[in-house]
Amino acid sequence: MQLLDLLIGRPLASEEDSEQRVGVAAGVPTFGLDALGSAAYGPEAAMTLLIPAAAAGVAYIAPISLVIIALLTIVYFSYRQTIDAYPNGGGSYTVASENLGRGMGLLAAAALMLDYLLDVGVGISTGVGALVSAVPRLQPHTLGICLAILLVLTLMNLRGVRESGVLVMLPTYLFCICLLGVLGWGTAKAAMAGGHPRPVVAPPHVAGHALAAVGAWLLIRAFASGCTALTGVEAVSNGMSAFREPKSQTAKRTLTVIVALLAIFLAGIAHLTRAYGIVATEPGTPQYESLLAMITAAVAGKGAFYYTTIASILVLLSLSANTAFTGFPLLCRVIAEDGYLPRFFAIRGRRLVYMEGILVLAVLSALILVAFGGVTDRLIPLFAIGAFLAFTLSQAGMVMHWRRTGGQRSRLYMGINGLGALATGCTVVVVLLAKFIEGAWITVLLVPILIALMYGVHRYYTRAARLMRVDRLHLRKPEVPLAVVPVSNWNRASQEALQFACGMTTRVEVLHVECPDEHGEQTSSNWQGQLDEAARAAGLQPPRVVSVPSPFRFITSPIVRYVLDAEKRESGGKVMVVVPEMVAKRWWQYLLHNHRSTTLKALLLLQGNRRIVVVNVPWYLR
Amino acid sequence: MQLLDLLIGRPLASEEDSEQRVGVAAGVPTFGLDALGSAAYGPEAAMTLLIPAAAAGVAYIAPISLVIIALLTIVYFSYRQTIDAYPNGGGSYTVASENLGRGMGLLAAAALMLDYLLDVGVGISTGVGALVSAVPRLQPHTLGICLAILLVLTLMNLRGVRESGVLVMLPTYLFCICLLGVLGWGTAKAAMAGGHPRPVVAPPHVAGHALAAVGAWLLIRAFASGCTALTGVEAVSNGMSAFREPKSQTAKRTLTVIVALLAIFLAGIAHLTRAYGIVATEPGTPQYESLLAMITAAVAGKGAFYYTTIASILVLLSLSANTAFTGFPLLCRVIAEDGYLPRFFAIRGRRLVYMEGILVLAVLSALILVAFGGVTDRLIPLFAIGAFLAFTLSQAGMVMHWRRTGGQRSRLYMGINGLGALATGCTVVVVLLAKFIEGAWITVLLVPILIALMYGVHRYYTRAARLMRVDRLHLRKPEVPLAVVPVSNWNRASQEALQFACGMTTRVEVLHVECPDEHGEQTSSNWQGQLDEAARAAGLQPPRVVSVPSPFRFITSPIVRYVLDAEKRESGGKVMVVVPEMVAKRWWQYLLHNHRSTTLKALLLLQGNRRIVVVNVPWYLR
């Protein structure tokens, strides 16, 4: 327990909850990290697809970015409305469940859960990938670094929402300041140079045939890839319970800051890419440089500022998984409270966070990282579908919400959310089509499996609750139980167990398993006399000695068999099996004793029935 | 259980014991494998040290072999006498314990245990080493092959003495026939050629400066290395309990066959080495060939017979660990029956073998193999000291035995055993001095540690037996216990637990831990009324509701604390903690329930005392 205190901090009382809430300043890094970080890979993902078009492709970055920013704006207004309507946490799951039915809610939930999971694996490995391409000496340690970052993120999140916010605050703001600096400086230079600034460090010139014309399919695929820039925007509305009062106000302000920054980033990147005529480089080739690195070098040269910016991007990407660590446990908790996920997801741990959710996410992401050796490029196509599916269902749910609640401005609200649903819905279809073969089919396969699992969990809980329900407490007149005391030889533990059994009931059987050939085994032939005498002296009913042979030298299974038979012979009462157990002081002492009582208890519990009760009488060797 | 049946066979009844006994034909491979296999490395180990002397060294192989064969003869007669005197298993441990005192017995035991352990690791890796030098493609799989052989040996030995004997019978006899063939044919050729036969395939000619003179120290070291040929001879007298009646006769005949074969091998190898002028090659160099391979090639050429012989040697070496698998569990069993090793070593498993000893040996050898990556060359110097120390103590014990028992021929017997003790004792000193720096010091370090551990085990058992002993069964008039039923909310399991508690005692407390903020937690404010009513209807004393707050949302620790306090308040009676437990049908259902009752039971057992009794009332969800 002391190690736990050191690692994740002292337990927090339930009433310390409000001190753990976050405001705007801490909310932006906590819930916006993922969204802001996506500025570092969204535009680049789009432009990578335009590489075949070379310089001709540059012309298309502006329209694609504009469409994405428009989509972002629609999503922003939609989510503001969701926050107002669901001040206690309006994740896509809640909104869709309440307005479109449970099935749609679970669809949104499954999509989001997969997305969060991918977010951790892909986020960490992208950051570490950038790091090892900058410092190739670290290449062999890719997986190790990934897992170390995962461990740090897990521990910080187990310490609580506030503490993980503090961890990511500095890198997030450093990233924002650097990027705003690059974009502002670059835009000013471009304006002064009449739109055609001279780069300080020219971007690498990529040779190759330029495509004559850029096809519509290529543009659609570039757009679909660019849409990854929008992932993470839903985090604020999911995490409502973590915001300081007034919740809706704090959350909306946080969302505004995040979306505004993201829009500025996307616009600025698109502008400077065109102004400097930057073409993306093929990842995995030696001349590869990230888009942001090329822009920064073009604007500011490769000085101290360049390296600070690049470093802040690396750190931010590695930490962008933090958003998933905040969102996933909260999402699982809401689903668990509705009975569609195991209940342990709904238990708040010692630091008031939903520890089990954090641990499950950590373990699953660790498995993904290990399975892919820390290089998760192939998982990127799976990304973003979940997020957009959740967006769509959430917006569609909001449309139904306004329709139901009615009110003065409900038509306007319906319009906004409807537009959002339409836009994001179309995006889902586009992304799915564009990336189906590359891997999006895995999402299409996994989501229904997850949903089926969640329905299964709910069915099980409903059935268990029905079987376990007690409408009105009812007690019966008790019957005299039969007590069976398994004894291999007489010592203080077995005497104590017999004493207890004699105090509980008048019908006690001392059960002895005979393996006469074996070393150290007693025979029970003279026990009855001793028992009669001891019971008479105490004024008790004498116990009966029962001996069962065991030709195969098994000890526990004959006892279990005897108890099951005795239960069948008993008419109505319980069969109490009184198990003597020696408890040693130190762990190594357990190596020196047999563990028959532990095995016996476990077997009786598993093979028994509800008329068989196990009583454990301990004897302490101290 | 069915998997176990398949892997190691159906359980054997205790009276099937005699069918598992072995005669001479099965006894030679079972107990002689190690001794016979040592013909393949003992002479070579001696000759490797003589490499610096080149051809001059060949002259010394005959005298060294003669000394070793003489030693073998003395040891043979000594052990024949031991078998007669201790027909129920006269391992060095028993003989030394009974005649020289427990300390000497444990010294012999510790030395032998280490030797057995090394035997498995070194045996398997020597065989596999020879295999991969023959088939270099297997080199990367060295460790895997080692572990696979270890697994097969472990499983076969778990199946019982007979079955492991069958496994090794064929390779052992094939090896003997091949080697006898080579030696007989070679000797005939040499005789016909007047002592200087022409090799069919000439042994590799090793260049290098020959030493002018061979020093005494070199000869002593060569002798010390050659002594490894004697390891394994003690196996027969250790394993007396496995022989068919009349035990002593069967065992002595088995020992005679083993020793005779070994002596023939040693003499034959020495003779042909000199006749063909074969010089050992440096292991680990490309021109390395084993001594037996060179002899076989010289006698028979590299045809089918050559490859059969080589293959039989490889298989025999890999399986030579089997002797340790037979000896180690029997040795541990005898020590455990005297209380110097954990008692589980003395329990005969389903196949009538001492499974725990086999498993411990398998795990420890696996660790050694993994630690050394399957190449255990560096462990070879540790070898043989243990065996010779055990020989010496056993012979010395026999001297004391004859002195004590007296009788007509006791002086002759004393003389034989005394000669054995002297010869093997001198060998111990020589081997220890010759190999101390190379690694024998590890044995010197480990043996006292092992002895101290065994004394510690015995001290613990003696103390535990004293604390637990009951001279005469005694029962008291029982007091009315207090029953505590922890209930988080009312369902069939908790109702059943309450019902049981009410049947056992009139003083029942229903304990509820309040975490009011948490999802799904009930408050106990209205429970007392319901309980009063239900108890009145059944004519029972109404239970009392006790509520404890838990600001940190812990559930089990407040219950444990309450029970410990209640025990302090109670004057003399027991405190029964009645734990309701839901038992699910399938393992995955456990993921969907909390495990508080399991945690609670474990904590109460560990932190409780002997006045706290845990009663487990199960409820089956079926």
- pLDDT at A450 (0 to 100): 94
> Chain A residue with minimal CA distance to B473?
A534
Beta strand B507-514 with B482-486 is parallel
Q: What is the average pLDDT across A397-421?
A: 87
pLDDT of B612 strictly over 80? yes
Residues of chain A with C-beta less than 8 angstroms from the C-beta of B613 = 500, 615-618
DSSP lists the bridge partners of residue A545 as: A510
pTM above 0.80, yes or no: no
Encode pLDDT of B261-278 as tens digits.
Answer: 999 999 999 999 988 888
**How far is it, in rounded angstroms, from Cα A457 to Cα B347?**
44
- pLDDT at B224 (0 to 100): 82
Q: Spell out the alpha helix ranges (H) of A406-485.
A: 410-435, 441-468
pLDDT of A208 strictly over 60? no
> Chain B residue with minimal CA distance to A517?
B14
pLDDT of B578 strictly over 90? yes
Portion of chain B with pLDDT greater than 70, in percent: 93
pLDDT band for A100, please (50, 70, 90 cuts).
Answer: very high
Residues of chain B with C-beta less than 8 angstroms from the C-beta of A518 = 14, 347-348
- Range of weakest confidence among A543-552, B67-76, B436-445: B436-445
Q: What are phi and psi of A525, to 5 degrees?
A: -60, -35
DSSP B520: T
- pLDDT at A440 (0 to 100): 80
Residue A308, H or E segment: helix A304-319
- pLDDT at B207 (0 to 100): 56
Q: What is the average pLDDT across B74-79?
A: 88
**How far is it, in rounded angstroms, from Cα A122 to Cα A41?**
11
Domains of chain B with bracketed CATH = 24-463 (1.20.1740.10), 482-620 (3.40.50.620)
pLDDT band for B576, please (50, 70, 90 cuts).
Answer: very high
DSSP lists the bridge partners of residue B580 as: B617
Portion of chain A with pLDDT greater than 70, in percent: 94
pLDDT of A20 strictly over 80? no
| Range with top average pLDDT, A413-422, A467-476, A588-597, B452-461 | B452-461
Report the mean per-residue pLDDT for chain A.
Answer: 85
- pLDDT at B257 (0 to 100): 95
pLDDT of B552 strictly over 80? no
Encode pLDDT of B331-376 as tens digits.
Answer: 898 899 899 999 888 887 776 678 888 999 999 999 988 888 777 7
**Interface ipTM above 0.85:** no
Omega within 30 of 0 (cis) for the link into A246: yes
**Using an 8 Å Cβ cutoff, are A251 and A83 in contact?**
yes
Residues of chain A with C-beta less than 8 angstroms from the C-beta of B357 = none
- pLDDT at B213 (0 to 100): 64
Q: What is the average pLDDT across A596-607?
A: 87
* CA distance to B28, B67, B74, B179, B257, per residue, from B261 (Å): 10, 17, 15, 10, 6
Which one of B461, B472, B475 would you mutate to disrupt binding with A, by most A Cβ within 10 Å of its Cβ? B475
pLDDT of B210 strictly over 60? no
**How far is it, in rounded angstroms, from Cα A223 to Cα A237?**
25
- pLDDT at A37 (0 to 100): 85
Select the more confidently predicted residue: A103 or A597: A103
Residues of chain A with C-beta less than 8 angstroms from the C-beta of B581 = 605
> Chain B residue with minimal CA distance to A339?
B592
> Chain B residue with minimal CA distance to A500?
B478
Question: Would residue A232 be called left, alpha or beta, if left means φ above 0 and alpha means ψ between -120 and 50 degrees?
Answer: left
pLDDT of A79 strictly over 60? yes
pLDDT of A453 strictly over 80? yes
Beta strand A612-620 with B612-620 is antiparallel
Helix (H/G/I), strand (E/B), else coil: B321 = helix
Helix (H/G/I), strand (E/B), else coil: A204 = coil
Residues of chain B with C-beta less than 8 angstroms from the C-beta of A503 = 478-479, 481, 574
- What is the distance in angstroms between the Cα of B458 and the nearest Cα belonging to chain A? 10
Residues of chain B with C-beta less than 8 angstroms from the C-beta of A350 = 552-554
Q: Which amino acid, B188?
A: A
Encode pLDDT of B134-150 as tens digits.
Answer: 777 887 888 889 999 99
DSSP A290: -
Residue A486, H or E segment: strand A482-486
pLDDT band for A212, please (50, 70, 90 cuts).
Answer: low
Residue B77: burial class (beta carbons within 10 Å; 0-12, 13-18, 19+)? middle
Report the mean per-residue pLDDT for chain B.
Answer: 85
**Using an 8 Å Cβ cutoff, are A429 and A131 in contact?**
no
Residues of chain B with C-beta less than 8 angstroms from the C-beta of A344 = 594
- pLDDT at B452 (0 to 100): 96
Tokens representing A586 are 């130190």
**Does B14 sit within 8 Å of A552, measured CB to CB?**
yes
Encode pLDDT of B181-191 as tens digits.
Answer: 999 999 999 99
Q: Which amino acid, B526?
A: N
**Using an 8 Å Cβ cutoff, are A300 and A276 in contact?**
no
**Does B515 sit within 8 Å of A492, measured CB to CB?**
no
Sheet of strand A544-549: strand arrangement: A544-549, A507-514, A482-486, A575-583, A612-620, B612-620, B575-583, B482-486, B507-514, B544-549
Q: How many CA atoms lie within 13 A of B239 on its CB side?
A: 38
Encode pLDDT of A273-304 as tens digits.
Answer: 988 888 888 776 777 778 888 899 899 888 89
How many interchain CB pairs under 8 A, A with B? 234
Encode pLDDT of A292-349 as tens digits.
Answer: 888 998 998 888 998 899 888 888 888 888 888 888 888 898 899 899 999 888 887 7
Q: Which residue has the tokens 């099965």?
A: B26
Encode pLDDT of B167-177 as tens digits.
Answer: 788 889 999 99
pLDDT band for B387, please (50, 70, 90 cuts).
Answer: confident
Nearest to B531 among A473, A494, A589 (CB): A473
pLDDT of A1 strictly over 60? no
**Does A606 sit within 8 Å of B583, measured CB to CB?**
yes
pLDDT of B100 strictly over 90? yes
Q: What are phi and psi of A45, to 5 degrees?
A: -60, -40
Portion of chain B with pLDDT greater than 90, in percent: 28
Q: How many CA atoms lie within 13 A of A581 on its CB side?
A: 32
Residue A551: burial class (beta carbons within 10 Å; 0-12, 13-18, 19+)? middle
Residue B615, H or E segment: strand B612-620
**How far is it, in rounded angstroms, from Cα A109 to Cα A101?**
13
pLDDT of A517 strictly over 70? no
Which one of B484, B592, B597, B609 would you mutate to disrupt binding with A, by most A Cβ within 10 Å of its Cβ? B592
Encode pLDDT of B3-30 as tens digits.
Answer: 667 666 777 776 676 667 788 888 898 8
Nearest to A474 among B495, B515, B614 (CB): B495
Encode pLDDT of A128-174 as tens digits.
Answer: 877 777 777 887 888 889 999 999 889 888 887 667 777 788 889 99
pLDDT of A355 strictly over 70? yes
Encode pLDDT of B156-170 as tens digits.
Answer: 888 876 677 777 888
- pLDDT at A44 (0 to 100): 85
Helix (H/G/I), strand (E/B), else coil: B303 = coil
- pLDDT at B287 (0 to 100): 73
DSSP lists the bridge partners of residue A485 as: A510
Q: Which amino acid, B435?
A: K
**Using an 8 Å Cβ cutoff, are B254 and B232 in contact?**
no
Torsion of CA A195, A198, A203, A207, to 10 degrees: 80
pLDDT band for A516, please (50, 70, 90 cuts).
Answer: low
- pLDDT at B181 (0 to 100): 94
Omega within 30 of 0 (cis) for the link into A283: no
**Does B581 sit within 8 Å of A472, measured CB to CB?**
no
Q: Can you state the angle between helices B492-504 and A441-468, rounded to 10 degrees?
A: 30
pLDDT of A417 strictly over 80? yes
**Does A551 sit within 8 Å of B14, measured CB to CB?**
yes
